[in-house]
Amino acid sequence: MKLFNTLTQSLQEFVPLDDTVKIYVCGVTPYDTTHLGHAFTYLTFDTLMRYLEYTGHKVKYVQNVTDIDDDVIRKARELGMQWDELGNREIERFLDDTDSLNIRRPDVYARATDEIERIIELAQALVERGYAYVNEGCVFYDVKHDTEFGALAQSIGLNDYQSMLAIANERGNFPEDKRKRDPLDFVLWQAQAPGEPAWESPWGAGRPGWHVECSSMSMHYLGQQIDIHGGGADLTFPHHTCEIAQSEHYSGKAPFVRTWMHVGMVYQDGEKMSKSLGNLTLVRNLLKEYSADAIRIVLQNHHYRYPWECFPEDLKIAADTAQLFKQVRELIGPRLDGENTMLHNRFIAAMENDLNTPEALQLLKQSAREALDTRDKNLGAEVLRLTGILGLTA
């Protein structure tokens, strides 16, 4: 199978390190509802996992939830809730929403707050090795000390350390700057602010920074080098760039991740769907009108790497496609006895080409129509078997 690696900006033959494929995907910060963009990201990895299993791989899939973070604390205050109360509620909602879309849960759903001890250990090790420093109860990653910092950022156009530094300096208006040696430095551990939740550490009470939890959890649950690390394209920089720096200088092993996969953003009203703009299509609202299959089809009709906008018409078309597969089911019945090698091979070829689900679905739609026209039960059975790999339930 060929997958596009963001780091090298090229399609590469995917070969797992050992007999279990290790996948880590950055999850949500649980302070708001699940929208179509989240669904696109997590459906992509659901589909990948199903396909890898179909082709005979064992898969271990870890997804994190950053349940302690500035946004969670802020939103909880706005709502007059405890931060963990809000987090628990939103985690439940997120899992409900993705369950409703028939997105399989990861093997490990890991919380940042369960990771505190190991995060501290990681931060401490980076201090000892000179990649991080302590100031006023905070620990910062020392970007200047790390000559390799930014390779992933470079892949999306931030060409080198110097330019990142120059840009950051231009806008040096961050309150943290006084405690940091360099504006690009990022927090591994931050000292407790009044009224905020905190954990004990060698540097006093505090809580983890944003990027460090994923390094820690990925290495803890999957090992120091993994096959695939994924997430939304907006995480490429700084989040994943920082993860590489932390992880590789902690473990002394590179690459931390063999294939970086980034999912394109979903748009609404011509702009990126985002919580701050409020232009959201919520999964739970869509589910009132459309089936899980229809929503999966809308998403899988787009290749995971490219941004797209969802129009109401696309949902109707997807609903028709879902209906088409149901008609095939009526023709075939519950047992899938026949097969069609030609369709099977073309489907596999599409999926092997960087998980090209739009092409795969196109093949299935054409074949479904043909099977209904000619009452070809072998072809129909093959269609249903393959829609099953895509996680459809017709």
**Residue ranges at the known binding site:** 26, 214, 239, 243, 275
Residue 297 Cβ vs RNA, minimum distance, rounded to whole Å? 11
Interaction pattern, residues 269-308, with RNA; x per rule: CB under 7 A: -xxxxxxx-------------------------xx--xxx
Q: How far is the CB of 48 from RNA (least distance, A)?
A: 14
Q: How far apart are CA 160 and CA 142, in angstroms?
A: 16
Closer by beta carbon to RNA, 16 or else 183: 183
Q: Kindly write out the interface string for residues 172-211 of this chain, putting x where it contacts RNA by CB under 7 A and - elsewhere.
A: --x--------xx-x-----------------------x-
Binding residues for Zn(2+): 26, 214, 239, 243
Positions of E strands within the chain: 2-5, 10-13, 20-25, 58-65, 108-111, 132-135, 138-141, 186-191, 206-208, 226-232, 257-263, 266-268, 271-272, 308-309
Distance from chain centroid for Cα 226:
15
Smallest separation, CB 149 to RNA (Å)? 12
Query: Would you state the structure tokens that stand for residue 55, as one six-digit string?
Result: 């082709």
Q: Is 165 left (phi over 0), alpha (psi -120 to 50) or beta?
A: alpha
Site string for RNA, 11-40 (x = CB under 7 A): ---------------xxxx-----x-xx-x
Residue 145 in the binding site for RNA (CB under 7 A): no
Minimum CB separation of residue 371 from RNA in Å reads: 13
Residues forming a β-bridge with 133 = 140
Question: Measuring CA to CA, how many Å separate 166 from each of 152, 159, 161, 170, 177?
Answer: 18, 12, 9, 6, 15
Write out the binding residues for RNA, residues 108-137 only, by CB under 7 A.
Answer: none
Residue 87, interface with RNA (CB under 7 A)?
Answer: no
Say how far apart CA 20 and CA 48 lie, in whole Å: 14
User: Locate tokens 């006093």: which residue?
Assistant: 204
Nearest-angstrom CA–CA distance, 10 and 3: 8
In this structure, are strands 206-208 and 138-141 parallel, antiparallel, or unpaired? unpaired
* Footprint on this chain of RNA (rule: CB under 7 A): 9, 26-29, 35, 37-38, 40-41, 69, 71, 156-159, 163-164, 167-168, 171, 174, 183-184, 186, 210, 231-239, 263, 265-266, 270-276, 302-303, 306-309, 311, 313-314, 317, 320, 353, 356, 358-359, 362, 365, 369
